[in-house]
Amino acid sequence: MEQQTNSGVSNDLIFGILCYLGILWIIPLLVNKKNEFFRLHLAQGLVVLILEVILGILGRLPIIWRLADWFWFVPGLVSAFAIIKMLTGDTMYHLPVVYDISRSFKF
């Protein structure tokens, strides 16, 4: 029994981490787990992914690319922070600005 519980927790943690790794965000969505843990991290991961796409598009524009270059590291930093919080046991951490934006998504 204990092995199933430990593997269940580690599987949830793995899927939670995948929510913050760019396009791999789609894998936890396809698992279709409808608990609060997955809804929180799917929504926050989607906000990070949208930020990555926006910065990628802005980085291609001739005038704005220098400004986008200054902020290219932000999605990776946010993702790393969220993953570290999950690995240290704070699995329901709300990223300050990301959480406010992610509340508009319904999963």
pLDDT of 29 strictly over 80: yes
Count of other CB atoms within 10 angstroms of residue 24: 14
pLDDT of residue 7: 53
Q: What is the DSSP string of 45-104?
A: HHHHHHHHHHHHHHTTSTTTHHHHHHTTTHHHHHHHHHHHHHHTT-TT---HHHHHHHTT
Average model confidence (pLDDT) across the chain: 84
Q: What is the pLDDT of residues 31-75, one digit of tens each?
A: 877 788 888 999 999 999 999 999 888 888 888 888 877 888 899
* pTM listed for this prediction: 0.82
> Span 6-28, mean pLDDT?
83
